[in-house]
């Protein structure tokens, strides 16, 4: 089996200063990629700025013989998103893969979520991936190659995994599922593959206590790196990864049945045949 390598390739990772993003950036660099390590260094509430967060990751990569560039834009605006991609392209002259790991969570139900919290979540979890992908796509089209990896969450994709106090976060992560599907279609003709990772790791967003080594970010990193590589030749899949467990999720529909001039009562009576849960 050929090793997954990124020699000569450039990969942009947002949220690369901590947790999952940092693990992705380090593994990509180990595999030969030149990494744009982006992190605005914001607090858990999305406020503030600390360039040392991204700088530390870059220093570590360079100390190990790798190549990396730190970027610090706050992704709460279209302009900042475009500036990040422009800086990456200007510095390296190309962009082969993009992993959007930056995210923000607020632990509140829909009634308790404050308008300003909702606005911050929208900007980071919904608007930023849209503007970043819009800027990234033309660079990949020029080379007829590209890999885009978005980040989703089970709390936004499955009622079985939903939680009662992350409604705004769930909506934002589910929005990236829709973006993934649309871009998978848009990028197909140019050899651009678009997928998503649904990670489970003990980052600063994680709430329950874990044992040493449990739900490590390093256990998730191989999944994101695979999706960002040339070895990934498919689009539109969600790779779920955490604690050594890997599985794939997609939107699937049932075959269903045909009902002419159906009434609501018909749907009640034949729900099991339609494929209702």
Looking at residue 243, what is its pLDDT?
85
Least confident range from 76-80, 104-108, 137-141, 182-186: namely 104-108
67: three-class secondary structure by DSSP: strand
Least confident range from 69-73, 215-219, 270-274: namely 215-219
**Mean predicted confidence (pLDDT) in 10-15:** 97
Range of the domain at 28: 10-251
Write the pLDDT tens digit of every residue in 30-41: 999 999 999 998
Residue 273 in domain: no
User: What is the number of domains present in the chain?
Assistant: 1
Residue 219 in domain: yes
Residue 275 in domain: no
pTM to 2 decimal places: 0.92
Which is nearest to 10 in space by CA: 129, 119, 114, 91?
Answer: 91
Candidates 107, 145, 169, 251; catalytic one: 169
Q: Hey, how many other C-beta atoms are within 10 angstroms of the C-beta on 8? A: 10
d(C-alpha 136, C-alpha 132), whole Å: 6
Residue 261 in domain: no
Confidence of residue 50 (pLDDT cuts 50, 70, 90): confident
d(C-alpha 250, C-alpha 114), whole Å: 32
Residue 169 in domain: yes
The tokens 């599985």 sit on which residue?
247
Looking at residue 97, what is its pLDDT?
98
Is 60's pLDDT higher than 90?
yes
Q: What is the mean pLDDT of the chain?
A: 90
Active-site residue, 107 included:
no
Is 14's pLDDT higher than 80?
yes
d(C-alpha 162, C-alpha 208), whole Å: 16
Write the pLDDT tens digit of every residue in 186-219: 999 999 999 999 998 655 555 456 566 656 889 9
Confidence of residue 101 (pLDDT cuts 50, 70, 90): very high
Residue 179 in domain: yes
Is 242's pLDDT higher than 80?
yes
Write the pLDDT tens digit of every residue in 130-176: 999 999 999 999 999 999 999 998 777 777 777 778 898 889 999 99
Residue 5 in domain: no
Residue 133 in domain: yes
With pLDDT > 70 as the criterion, what percentage of the chain qualifies? 93
Six-digit token string for 211: 């044992």
Looking at residue 147, what is its pLDDT?
98
For residue 77, the domain's CATH number is 3.40.50.720
Helices (H), the chain: 19-30, 52-63, 78-92, 115-122, 128-143, 154-157, 167-187, 221-227, 264-269, 271-274
Which is nearest to 103 in space by CA: 25, 170, 160, 162?
Answer: 170
d(C-alpha 166, C-alpha 240), whole Å: 19
195: three-class secondary structure by DSSP: strand
Six-digit token string for 98: 């993009």
């Amino acid at each position: 089996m050929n090793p997954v390598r990124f020699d000569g390739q450039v990969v942009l990772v947002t949220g690369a200063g901590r947790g999952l993003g940092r693990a992705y950036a380090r593994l990509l660099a180990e595999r030969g990629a030149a990494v744009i390590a982006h992190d605005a260094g914001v607090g858990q509430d999305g406020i503030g700025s600390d360039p040392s967060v991204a700088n530390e990751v870059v220093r570590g990569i360079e100390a190990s013989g790798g190549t990396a560039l730190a970027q610090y834009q706050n992704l709460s605006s279209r302009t900042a998103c475009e500036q990040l991609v422009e800086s990456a392209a200007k510095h390296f002259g190309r962009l082969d893969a993009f992993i959007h790991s930056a995210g923000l969570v607020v632990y509140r139900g829909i009634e308790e979520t404050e308008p300003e919290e909702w606005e911050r979540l929208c900007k980071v979890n919904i608007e930023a991936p849209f503007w970043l992908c819009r800027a990234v796509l033309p660079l990949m089209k020029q080379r007829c190659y590209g890999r885009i990896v978005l980040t989703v969450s089970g709390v936004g994709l499955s009622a079985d995994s939903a939680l009662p106090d992350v409604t705004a976060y769930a909506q934002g992560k589910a929005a990236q599922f829709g973006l993934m599907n649309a871009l998978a279609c848009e990028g197909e003709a140019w050899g651009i593959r678009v997928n998503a990772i649904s990670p489970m790791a003990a980052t600063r967003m994680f709430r329950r206590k874990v044992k040493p080594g449990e739900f490590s970010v390093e256990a998730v990193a191989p999944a994101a790196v695979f999706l960002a590589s040339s070895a990934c030749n498919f689009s539109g899949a969600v790779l779920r990864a955490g604690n050594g467990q890997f599985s794939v999720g997609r939107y699937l529909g049932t075959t269903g049945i045909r009902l002419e001039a159906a009434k609501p009562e018909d749907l009640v009576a034949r729900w099991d045949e339609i494929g209702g849960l």
